[in-house]
């Protein structure tokens, strides 16, 4: 919509300059250009009809004739120049002492004047700690090597029980001990918190005797102990890259040892044979292919010092007159010598025990690791698969146990084949309740044990029988070759055999077997041992359940005896008139109506039974449910059930016949 | 469980015969004064020994629970004779609860009796007394010693030797009953034999 449209709508006559403002190339368009180009100079206004788009144009057109005389000029939008007031801080490439000899440069904040010309110590210098290993002259060496290694034997005994894991830990400890000694020696020692830590880890009283003795050694051979620094510097050159702090060293050494072990396994494969041979030998000195000379020991200690007891490096660099030594040999010698050294210093040093190197254990450990790591991918996969499989089995077994338990619980629950009707009366309910309660207690007892496996039971029975038979067969020749093949002996066997042949090991038969045996014992002096031994096993091998059965039977017997004792004054007639009866069955104690104890069946069967009873013109409930009648009724019902079963089979056969035809 | 708790004697059960049931009669002109107008019968429910002997030495109380429409529908009888006479017009189940003496330490025995007012044969209305009487036995399984002694004081299991109109339940009836059942068993056995033969036949046919 343009202004002309509005004019049209309002019926205002235009000034007849142009029909539309849009198309006019006059002043209108010029000013349009002025707005759109914005920053450009006003000269551009003259440019022919610059494109105006969007709302702007429409808004502009609304102005109609009254176009502004002044062109609006937007201000420039350039970025303002930075007006930062802060001064730049100076950084200088200052020199610093990487170690005692080496001077390097690094960038430090601060001006040159501030730092001064002196090369500063590196902030990491404090971590550059080294162990000081004992040093000795040849005379000293020979002196203390001559001493008997009494601790060694004691420690060997002690160490045999310890596992390899401990031993690796021990190496660390040894290093720490060494280190600690160095610390006490060093008067100028900058004690870092880490070294303090190691100290506190060790027994504090160990520190006390050390300085004295170490001072002594220093006095003796000050030239040897002091120039630690020189050696240190050498160290640095050798393994420049590892200017790691001591803590790292300690922590790493764990992994390092393991990884090193694995890496050297390949290296030492050739040597394993030698090592295996050495396993048998007692002391490390005996197993040396070449005797250790003082020079070699000194060389070894030098290497140890140089490489901070990094054994794999040491063994790699080791080349003394072409003697081949395994890493274990080196270690053994090192620890043996240093132990003797410290022993000569202070025999009661409590840290001496930590200088133990159980060679056998180490070799064993290595072998184990080797075997573990030399497994092929297939073997590893197989192992994993086996583990997974075993897990599965475990889970499956657990599940099965639970399922079986629940199944047993279901089986244990009261039979549902009886009609519900008998539980409808309050008496019935109370009976049901009591029976359920009894069930519950029984179940609880049952839960404690694993559900019995019927197959296992069967198996056990078979095994038992077999053993019994075997024993009997073993006995038989004895008897026949015995002094007198008595007639009673064979008869006793005949008595003993049949029960064994039967597939029963119930408590009922077992005692009978023993009874027959003992009877024979008393009758016949010739075969006491025979029958006695042959029959003895069964009662011993009774399962828990059988024992329980026997117990309950025993209890029942005493109960019966008690009851009989009570009733001994009454004769049969009196008993009947008093309504007393003895029963063998297990009935829940309590009162009930005789008629409620007549058997009932599943509804379908019940109806059939009723049908049969009706056919026989007998009442469903006997008119006079006395004991005798009810017993008879039970008999009848049993027969009726058999009858209905037969009817069912006949129906089934008929149906089959019909199908086959 | 209150009361004297003493050991139960295992493997022994003591039974006591009881007779329970109801008699009913149509009310004629002689209506009890408080009987509602719609009541047509007068009946008596009872629980007693077979020969009306004393049973109170082991039964303390009998509770008859009548239909809810009766006022005070729970009737408690504390002393022999354990019976209740009422009027009514309909048959219903009466819940009988027997409470035993304290020393028995037994639970309440509860059972139902269907009140009968009408003869089975409705076609010939008779003015005679209607009887619905049952014989049953209370079996005290494994009673405790004290109660056992109490029960031993009286030969409660005695039955009359011959049937009488007064009491049909007797040794005679018992024998008759047994004979009848025996006949039934014989019959069933016969049928079983027949069926067995049939099954054998069919099995032979099959292959």
Is residue B151 less than 8 Å (CB to CB) from chain A? yes
Give the minimum alpha-carbon distance from B139 to chain A in angstroms, rounded to a whole number.
5
Of A559, A597, A622, the CB nearest to B10: A559
Is residue B76 less than 8 Å (CB to CB) from chain A? no
Residue of B nearest to A643 (CA): B192
What are A555's two structure tokens? 């209890």
Give the minimum alpha-carbon distance from B41 to chain A in angstroms, rounded to a whole number.
26
Of B137, B184, B192, the CB nearest to A594: B137
> pLDDT at residue A26 above 60?
no
Confidence (pLDDT) at A399:
93
Tally of structural domains, chain A: 5
- Cα A5 from Cα B24, distance rounded (Å): 116
Q: Which residues pair with A92 in a beta bridge?
A: A108
Confidence (pLDDT) at A276:
41
Give the minimum alpha-carbon distance from A616 to chain B in angstroms, rounded to a whole number.
6
Contact A591 B152 (CB under 8 A): no
Contact B10 A567 (CB under 8 A): no
Tell me the DSSP string of A432-455: HHHHHHHHHHHHHHHHHSPPPPHH
Q: A444 in a domain, yes or no?
A: yes
β-strands A120-121, A91-97 pairing: parallel
A95, with CB counted inside 10 A (0-12, 13-18, 19+), is middle
Q: A552 in a domain, yes or no?
A: no
Give the minimum alpha-carbon distance from B205 to chain A in angstroms, rounded to a whole number.
9
> pLDDT at residue A301 above 60?
yes
Contact B11 A576 (CB under 8 A): no
CB < 8 Å to A628, chain B = 174, 178
pLDDT above 70: percentage of residues in chain A: 49
Q: How many CB pairs under 8 A join A and B?
A: 182
Give the minimum alpha-carbon distance from B81 to chain A in angstroms, rounded to a whole number.
20
Q: Pick the residue of B10, B134, B150, B170 with the most A CBs within 10 A to test the interface with A by mutation.
A: B10
pLDDT in tens, A306-334: 888 888 888 888 888 877 888 888 888 88
DSSP state of A475: H
CATH numeric code, B13-157: 2.60.40.1970
Q: A284 in a domain, yes or no?
A: yes
Average pLDDT of chain A is: 65
> pLDDT at residue A141 above 70?
yes
pLDDT in tens, A396-450: 999 999 988 888 887 766 555 555 666 667 777 787 788 777 766 655 544 444 5
Confidence (pLDDT) at A345:
79
pLDDT band at A49 (very low <50, low <70, confident <90, very high): low
Q: What is the dihedral of CA A622, A623, A628, A634, to 10 degrees?
A: 0
Q: Which residue has the higher pLDDT, A104 or A58?
A: A104
A609 contact partners, CB below 8 Å, separation of at least 6: A601, A637, A640, A641, A644
Same domain for A352 and A388:
no
pLDDT in tens, A197-229: 333 344 344 334 434 444 433 333 333 333 344
DSSP state of A21: T
Give the minimum alpha-carbon distance from B30 to chain A in angstroms, rounded to a whole number.
34
Q: A398 in a domain, yes or no?
A: yes
A296 contact partners, CB below 8 Å, separation of at least 6: A320, A321, A323
Same domain for A489 and A384:
no
Q: Which of A340, A373, A406 is the last residue of a domain?
A: A373
Is residue B7 less than 8 Å (CB to CB) from chain A? no
pLDDT band at A32 (very low <50, low <70, confident <90, very high): very low
Same domain for A459 and A337:
no
Q: Which residues pair with A104 in a beta bridge?
A: A96
Task: Kindly provide the b/e burial profile for residues A287-308, where b requires at least 16 CB atoms within 10 angstroms of the residue's own CB.
Answer: bbeeebebebbbebbebbbbbb
Task: Kindly provide the b/e burial profile for residues B11-44, where b requires at least 16 CB atoms within 10 angstroms of the residue's own CB.
Answer: bbbbbbbbbbbbbbeebeeeeeeeeeeebebbbe
- Cα A432 from Cα A429, distance rounded (Å): 5
Contact B12 A566 (CB under 8 A): yes
Contact A517, A539 (CB under 8 A): no
Is residue B200 less than 8 Å (CB to CB) from chain A? no
Is residue A584 less than 8 Å (CB to CB) from chain B? yes
- Cα A294 from Cα A369, distance rounded (Å): 34
Give the minimum alpha-carbon distance from A620 to chain B in angstroms, rounded to a whole number.
11
Contact A591 B15 (CB under 8 A): no
Contact A593 B198 (CB under 8 A): no
Q: How far is CA B22 from each of CA A338, A375, A593, B85, rounded to the nearest angstrom?
A: 113, 93, 18, 9
Mean pLDDT by 10 residues, chain B (207 residues): 59 84 83 80 88 84 90 88 88 91 86 86 66 86 83 73 73 85 88 86 73
Q: A508 in a domain, yes or no?
A: yes
Is residue A624 less than 8 Å (CB to CB) from chain B? yes
Is residue A586 less than 8 Å (CB to CB) from chain B? no
Contact B110 A612 (CB under 8 A): no
Q: How high is the ipTM of this complex?
A: 0.83
pLDDT in tens, A264-297: 444 444 444 444 433 433 344 444 456 788 888 8
- Cα B177 from Cα B154, distance rounded (Å): 26
CB < 8 Å to A437, chain B = none
Of A577, A589, A636, the CB nearest to B158: A577
What are A175's two structure tokens? 């290093």
- Cα B199 from Cα A322, distance rounded (Å): 102
Per-residue three-class SS string for chain B:
CCCCCCCECCCEEEEEEEEEEEEEEECCCCCCCCCCCCCCEEEEEEEECCCCCCCCCCEEEEEEECCCCCCCCEEEECCCCEEEEEEECCCCEEEEEEEECHHHCCCCEEEEEECCCCCCCCCCCCCCCEEEEEEEEEEEECCEHHHHHHHHCCCCCCCCCCCCCCCCCCHHHHHHHHHHHHHHHHHHHHHHHHHHHHHHHHHHHCC
Is residue B189 less than 8 Å (CB to CB) from chain A? yes
Contact A632 B202 (CB under 8 A): no
Contact A629 B138 (CB under 8 A): no
Contact A301, A336 (CB under 8 A): no
Domain enclosing residue A20, as ranges: 3-62
- Cα A610 from Cα A620, distance rounded (Å): 7
Q: How far is CA A500 from each of CA A183, A473, B23, rounded to the nearest angstrom?
A: 83, 12, 65
pTM above 0.80, yes or no: no
pLDDT band at A493 (very low <50, low <70, confident <90, very high): very low
Residue of A nearest to B183 (CA): A616
Give the minimum alpha-carbon distance from B33 to chain A in angstroms, rounded to a whole number.
35
Residue of B nearest to A649 (CA): B199
Residue of A nearest to B175 (CA): A629
Q: Which residue has the higher pLDDT, A63 or A481?
A: A63
Same domain for A351 and A391:
no
Least confident of A114-128, A187-201, A303-317: A187-201
**Among all chains, which residue has been given the structure tokens 């029976």?**
A435
- Cα A647 from Cα B5, distance rounded (Å): 51
Contact A650 B191 (CB under 8 A): no
DSSP state of A103: E
Contact B112 A425 (CB under 8 A): yes
- Cα A472 from Cα A490, distance rounded (Å): 11
pLDDT band at A364 (very low <50, low <70, confident <90, very high): very high
Same domain for A402 and A343:
no
Q: How many C-beta neighbours within 10 Å does residue A310 have?
A: 21
Selected residues 93-152 of chain A with any CB under 8 Å from a CB in chain B: none
Contact A591 B16 (CB under 8 A): no
Q: How far is CA A627 from each of CA A581, A620, B151, B177, B181, rounded to the nearest angstrom?
A: 9, 16, 18, 12, 13
Return the half-sphere exposure (C-beta side, CA atoms, 13 A cut-off) of residue A108: 20
- Cα A583 from Cα A646, distance rounded (Å): 32
Same domain for A255 and A332:
yes
Same domain for A340 and A210:
yes
Contact B15, B138 (CB under 8 A): yes
CB < 8 Å to B13, chain A = 580-581, 583, 587
- Cα A203 from Cα A184, distance rounded (Å): 14
Same domain for A352 and A239:
yes
Q: Which of A542, A557, A575 is the last residue of a domain?
A: A542
Task: Kindly provide the b/e burial profile for residues A468-486, where b requires at least 16 CB atoms within 10 angstroms of the residue's own CB.
Answer: beebbeebeeebeeeeeeb
A376 contact partners, CB below 8 Å, separation of at least 6: none
Confidence (pLDDT) at A186:
42
Same domain for A362 and A310:
yes
Contact A626 B185 (CB under 8 A): no
Contact A616 B187 (CB under 8 A): yes
Angle between helices A54-62 and A27-37 (to 10 degrees): 140
Contact A592 B139 (CB under 8 A): yes
Q: How many C-beta neighbours within 10 Å does residue A573 have?
A: 9
Contact B12 A581 (CB under 8 A): yes
Same domain for A324 and A386:
no
Confidence (pLDDT) at A573:
65
pLDDT band at A14 (very low <50, low <70, confident <90, very high): low
Q: A576 in a domain, yes or no?
A: no
Confidence (pLDDT) at A149:
56
Confidence (pLDDT) at A392:
94
Give the minimum alpha-carbon distance from B18 to chain A in angstroms, rounded to a whole number.
10
Give the minimum alpha-carbon distance from B31 to chain A in angstroms, rounded to a whole number.
34
Q: Which residues pair with B8 in a beta bridge?
A: B144
Least confident of A104-108, A482-486, B190-194: A482-486
Q: A12 in a domain, yes or no?
A: yes
- Cα A232 from Cα A131, distance rounded (Å): 10
Give the minimum alpha-carbon distance from B119 to chain A in angstroms, rounded to a whole number.
18
Selected residues 89-108 of chain B with any CB under 8 Å from a CB in chain A: 97, 100, 104, 106-108
Of A591, A613, A635, the CB nearest to B107: A591
pLDDT in tens, A605-633: 888 888 888 888 888 888 888 888 888 88
Q: Which residue has the higher pLDDT, A353 or A483?
A: A353
Q: What is the dihedral of CA B3, B7, B11, B17, to 10 degrees?
A: -30
Q: Which residues pair with B26 in a beta bridge?
A: B41
Same domain for A478 and A443:
no
> pLDDT at residue A479 above 80?
no
> pLDDT at residue A98 above 90?
no
Give the minimum alpha-carbon distance from B178 to chain A in angstroms, rounded to a whole number.
6
Q: A522 in a domain, yes or no?
A: yes
Tell me the DSSP string of A148-206: --HHHHHHHHHHHTS-HHHHHHHHHHHHHHHHHHHHHH-SS----HHHHHHHHHS-GGG
Determine which helix (DSSP H) or strand (DSSP E) holds A108, and give its type and residue range: strand A103-109
Is residue B186 less than 8 Å (CB to CB) from chain A? no
Least confident of A61-75, A530-544, B27-41, B191-205: A530-544
Contact B202 A646 (CB under 8 A): no
**Among all chains, which residue has been given the structure tokens 């409930």?**
A621
Same domain for A443 and A458:
no
> pLDDT at residue A236 above 50?
no
First to last CA, chain A: 100
What are B143's two structure tokens? 């009673």
């Amino acid at each position: 919509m343009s202004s002309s449209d509005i004019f049209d709508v309002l019926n205002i006559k235009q000034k007849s300059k142009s029909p539309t403002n849009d198309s006019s190339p006059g002043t209108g368009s010029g000013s349009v250009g002025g707005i759109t180009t914005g920053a450009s100079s006003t000269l551009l206004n003259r440019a022919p009809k610059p494109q105006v788009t969007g709302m702007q144009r429409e808004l502009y057109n609304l102005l109609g004739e009254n176009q502004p005389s002044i062109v609006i000029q937007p201000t420039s939008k350039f970025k303002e120049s930075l007006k930062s007031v802060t001064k730049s801080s100076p950084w200088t490439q200052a020199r610093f002492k990487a170690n005692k000899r080496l001077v390097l440069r690094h960038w430090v904040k601060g001006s040159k004047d501030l730092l001064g010309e002196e090369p500063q110590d590196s902030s990491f210098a404090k971590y550059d700690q080294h162990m000081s290993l004992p040093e000795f002259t040849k005379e000293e060496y020979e002196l203390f090597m001559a001493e008997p290694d009494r601790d060694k034997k004691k420690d060997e005994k002690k160490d045999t029980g310890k596992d390899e894991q401990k031993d690796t830990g021990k190496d660390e400890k040894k290093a720490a001990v060494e280190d600690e000694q160095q610390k006490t020696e060093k008067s100028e020692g900058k004690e870092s918190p880490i070294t303090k830590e190691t100290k506190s880890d060790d027994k504090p009283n160990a520190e006390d005797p050390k300085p004295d003795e170490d001072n002594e050694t220093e006095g003796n051979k000050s030239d040897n102990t002091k120039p630690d620094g020189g050696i240190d510097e050498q160290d640095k050159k050798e393994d420049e890259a590892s200017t790691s702090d001591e803590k790292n060293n300690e922590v790493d050494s764990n992994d390092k040892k393991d990884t090193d072990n694995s890496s050297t396994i390949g290296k030492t494969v050739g040597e394993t044979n030698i090592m295996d041979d050495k396993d048998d030998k007692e002391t490390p000195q005996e197993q040396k292919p070449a005797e250790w000379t003082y020079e070699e020991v000194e060389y070894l200690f030098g290497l140890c010092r140089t490489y901070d007891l990094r054994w794999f490096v040491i063994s790699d660099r080791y080349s003394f007159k072409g003697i081949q030594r395994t890493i274990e040999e080196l270690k053994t010698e090192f620890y043996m010598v240093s132990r003797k050294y410290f022993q000569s210093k202070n025999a009661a040093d409590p840290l001496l025990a930590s200088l133990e190197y159980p060679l056998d254990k180490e070799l064993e450990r290595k072998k184990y690791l080797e075997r573990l790591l030399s497994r092929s991918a297939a073997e590893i996969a197989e192992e994993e698969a086996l583990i997974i499989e075993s897990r599965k089995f475990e889970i499956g077994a657990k599940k099965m146990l639970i399922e079986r338990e629940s199944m047993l619980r279901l089986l244990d629950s009261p039979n549902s084949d009886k009609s519900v009707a008998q539980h409808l009366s309050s008496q019935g309910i109370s009976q049901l309740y009591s029976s359920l309660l009894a069930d519950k207690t029984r179940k609880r007892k049952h839960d404690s044990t694993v559900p019995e496996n019927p197959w296992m039971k069967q198996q056990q029975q078979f095994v038992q029988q077999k053993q019994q038979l075997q024993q009997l067969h073993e006995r038989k020749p004895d008897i026949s070759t015995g002094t007198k093949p008595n007639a009673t002996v064979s008869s006793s066997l005949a008595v003993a055999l049949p029960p064994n042949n039967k597939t029963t090991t119930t408590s009922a038969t077992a005692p009978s077997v023993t009874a027959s045996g003992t009877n024979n014992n008393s009758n016949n002096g010739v075969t006491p041992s025979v029958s006695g031994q042959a029959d003895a096993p069964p009662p011993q091998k009774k399962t828990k359940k059988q024992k329980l059965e026997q117990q309950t039977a025993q209890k029942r017997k005493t109960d019966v005896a008690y009851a009989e004792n009570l009733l001994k004054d009454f004769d049969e007639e009196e008993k009947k008139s008093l309504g007393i009866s003895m029963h063998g069955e297990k009935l829940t104690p309590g009162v009930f109506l005789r008629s409620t104890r007549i058997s009932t069946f599943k509804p379908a069967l019940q109806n059939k039974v009723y049908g049969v009873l009706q056919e026989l013109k007998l009442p469903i409930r006997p008119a006079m449910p006395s004991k005798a009648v009810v017993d008879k009724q039970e008999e009848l019902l049993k027969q009726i059930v058999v009858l209905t079963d037969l009817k069912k089979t006949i129906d089934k056969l008929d149906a089959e016949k019909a199908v086959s035809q | 469980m209150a009361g004297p708790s003493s050991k139960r004697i295992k493997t022994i059960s003591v039974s006591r015969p009881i007779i329970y049931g109801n008699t009913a009669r149509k009310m004629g002109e002689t209506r009890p004064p408080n009987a509602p107008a719609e009541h047509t019968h007068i009946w008596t429910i009872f629980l007693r020994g077979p020969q009306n002997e004393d049973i109170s030495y082991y039964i303390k109380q009998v509770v008859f629970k009548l239909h809810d429409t009766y006022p005070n529908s729970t009737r408690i009888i504390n002393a022999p004779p354990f019976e209740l006479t009422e009027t009514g017009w309909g048959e219903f189940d009466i819940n009988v609860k027997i409470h035993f003496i304290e020393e028995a330490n037994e639970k309440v025995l509860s059972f139902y009796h269907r009140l009968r007012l009408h003869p089975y044969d409705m076609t010939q209305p008779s003015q005679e007394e209607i009887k619905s009487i049952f014989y049953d036995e209370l079996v005290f399984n494994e009673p405790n010693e004290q109660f056992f002694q109490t029960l031993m004081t009286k030969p409660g299991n005695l039955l009359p030797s011959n049937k009488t109109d007064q009491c049909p339940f007797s040794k005679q009836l018992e024998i008759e009953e047994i004979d009848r059942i025996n006949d039934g068993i014989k019959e069933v056995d016969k049928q079983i034999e027949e069926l067995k033969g049939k099954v054998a036949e069919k099995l032979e046919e099959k292959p």
